[in-house]
Chains A and B, each alone.
Chain A
Amino acid sequence: MTSPALLAAVGEVGKGFIQERSSETLPCQATDKLFCFDWAKENIGRYETPSVQHVELVLISVLLGFAIAFALALLAHRHRWLQPPLLAGTGVLYTIPSLAFFFLLLPITGRGRDTAIIALSAYTLQIIYRNTIVGLANVPSSVKDAARGMGLTERQILWKVELPLAAPEIFAGLQIATVSTVAIATLAVFAGGGGLGTPIKAGIDFKTNIIIAGGIAILLAAALGMLLFGIQRLLTPWRRAAAA
């Protein structure tokens, strides 16, 4: 029941397509070009949802990792004998490749964002834990003695003297953990966790796509890194005075 007119129309479309292919006006994404600006301009909106997911993944993972690692570090600061086992334990978690970690968790937590977040936050523990311990250990004992002499309790010394003085090291750890997590979270797509890995995996042969998604991840890492640096400077005004 096909009308001749429709057949003719299909023929026209076909002809146009063939002509287009032969006259080198291929759409850019079918060529081997390094970067297609026109495609990028039209399709940049596709990367919004994955970017937002990516930021969420990173922020939740790093905050969770920080809460756990910071608490462990405070505990180990008071009970020194905990330090070697905690360093070894977080070291093992740091060593296990994220992709393997996702799938080791699979039988327990299933596929999805939670699995990705657990693995990503486990990865941050070592860096934050170690920097907090080192920061606290670097506080000169004379400063603590002075605080004790002024009548501060151990708890006051920790929160008002030791932690503020350790803040630069703690923030350095947080910064390294955040930047690394932004990069590694591109693998969360394999755990069903979304993020910028989703467009990369979907268009893995298309250079423009990889450059945009990878570029967003790098910019995100830089932006979060600088944000943390800014927060650290705001929280430690005495260091600015000393540097000036």
Chain B
Amino acid sequence: MIGVLLPHPVLASVEGAIEFIFTPQSSNVTGGKTVGGLDQVIELTLTQLELTVLALALSLIVALPIGLYLGHRGTGELLAISIGNLGRAIPELALIAFMAALIGVGILNLTIALAVLGVPPILANAFVGIHQVDRATVDAARGIGMTELEILRKVEIPLAIPTLFAGIRGATIAIVATATIAPLAGVLTLGDFIINGNVYGDDGVLAGAIVVALLALVLEFSLAGLQRLLTARGLKVSSA
């Protein structure tokens, strides 16, 4: 069926890539050592996932409190928005290369480098999400005797969930995408299949691209699911 739709060489490449994912292949560069196969694919996937989760966690720890605080206070708009805009302009390849040269290679250094990409969207969206909550609603919450922390936790954050999550999802996409070039900074992620194509061959390169794309989509769908879980039931009806 697919064979009818796709030109034959493309189909052959995809078949080769799928075979590379499941069975180790001999490589002419590694001197008899086999490459690919499910074990290596799983190992590299887990490293990429670990790196992504660590960097995302660090970004959240740094950006979320600042964004929520500034949003609640309604100050620092220029700062939050500027950081958000600046973040988009950071060239990924230069960032990884520069951080590797400046603070060194390895998973912890790379976590810091990737968090640089995660902080701006989370901070800016946390600010905007909290700041745009209707002030009358916040005043009402204050009127029934809520403390500032309760207002943030029970009123502002639930109402800001869509915007907050847009930031977290944007950060995740940027981090997982850039974690693909981590082999340049000494951490072997799925990008190794792609960047070191001379070792893994064309099948390995395509296999790497397929698994990276799937990993990013799985993360995105998981976060979309989490967002749905965290959205208050009353808000789901109005957004539908």
Residues of A within 8 A of B (CB): 34, 91-92, 94-104, 106-108, 176, 179-180, 182-184, 186-187, 189-190, 196-197, 200-201, 204-207, 210-211, 213-214, 217-218, 221-222, 225
Bound CA–CA A98/B91 (angstroms)? 13
Would you call B216 and A187 a contact (CB within 8 A)? no
Can you name 10 extra interface pairs (CB under 8 A) apart from A200-B94, A217-B94, A218-B91? A91-B220, A99-B180, A101-B213, A106-B209, A107-B206, A200-B91, A204-B101, A210-B98, A214-B91, A221-B88
Q: Which of A34, A190, A213 contacts B94 (CB 8 A)?
A: A213
Nearest CB of A to B223, in Å:
10
Chain A CB within 8 A of B102 CB:
yes
The B85-144 residues at the A interface (CB cut-off 8 A) are 85, 88-95, 97-98, 100-102
Chain A CB within 8 A of B184 CB:
yes
Given A183-B92, A210-B98, A222-B89, A190–B217 Cβ distance below 8 Å? no
Nearest CB of A to B47, in Å:
15
Q: Which residues of B contact A107 (CB under 8 A)?
A: 9-10, 13-14, 206
Bound CA–CA A108/B8 (angstroms)? 10
The B188-203 residues at the A interface (CB cut-off 8 A) are 191, 194-195, 202
Would you call A100 and B194 a contact (CB within 8 A)? yes
Task: Please list the 5 inter-chain residue pairs (A to B) with the smallest Cβ-Cβ separation, ordered nearest first.
Answer: A214-B94, A97-B177, A103-B209, A221-B89, A107-B13
- Majority SS at the chain B contact face: helix
Q: Which residues of A contact B71 (CB under 8 A)?
A: none
Q: Which of B9, B85, B93, B176 contacts A187 (CB 8 A)?
A: B93
Q: Which of A34, A180, A207 contacts B88 (CB 8 A)?
A: A180
Q: Which residues of B contact A190 (CB under 8 A)?
A: 194-195
The B153-188 residues at the A interface (CB cut-off 8 A) are 173, 176-178, 180-181, 184
Given A100-B216, A207-B102, A179–B88 Cβ distance below 8 Å? yes
Q: Which residues of A contact B212 (CB under 8 A)?
A: 97, 99-100
Nearest CB of A to B240, in Å:
12
Q: What's the interface size class on B, roughly?
A: 35 or more
Would you call A96 and B92 a contact (CB within 8 A)? no
Most buried by A among B7, B10, B205: B205
Q: Which residues of B contact A100 (CB under 8 A)?
A: 177, 180, 194, 208-210, 212-213, 216
Bound CA–CA A34/B101 (angstroms)? 9
Would you call B92 and A184 a contact (CB within 8 A)? yes
Q: Which residues of A contact B102 (CB under 8 A)?
A: 34, 207
Given A100-B212, A179-B85, A210–B97 Cβ distance below 8 Å? yes
Q: Which residues of B contact A34 (CB under 8 A)?
A: 102
Bound CA–CA A34/B74 (angstroms)? 38
Bound CA–CA A186/B97 (angstroms)? 12
Bound CA–CA A92/B35 (angstroms)? 30
Would you call B216 and A96 a contact (CB within 8 A)? yes
Question: Hey, what's the 0/1 contact readout for B60-92 against A, CB within 8 Å counting as 1?
Answer: 000000000000000000000000010011111
Bound CA–CA A200/B91 (angstroms)? 11
Q: Which of A176, A214, A222 contacts B98 (CB 8 A)?
A: A214
Q: Which residues of B contact A184 (CB under 8 A)?
A: 91-92
Bound CA–CA A184/B177 (angstroms)? 10
Bound CA–CA A204/B184 (angstroms)? 8
Would you call A187 and B173 a contact (CB within 8 A)? no
Would you call A186 and B213 a contact (CB within 8 A)? no
Chain A's closest residue to B93 (CB) is A186
Would you call A95 and B89 a contact (CB within 8 A)? no
Nearest CB of A to B116, in Å:
12
Bound CA–CA A101/B173 (angstroms)? 13
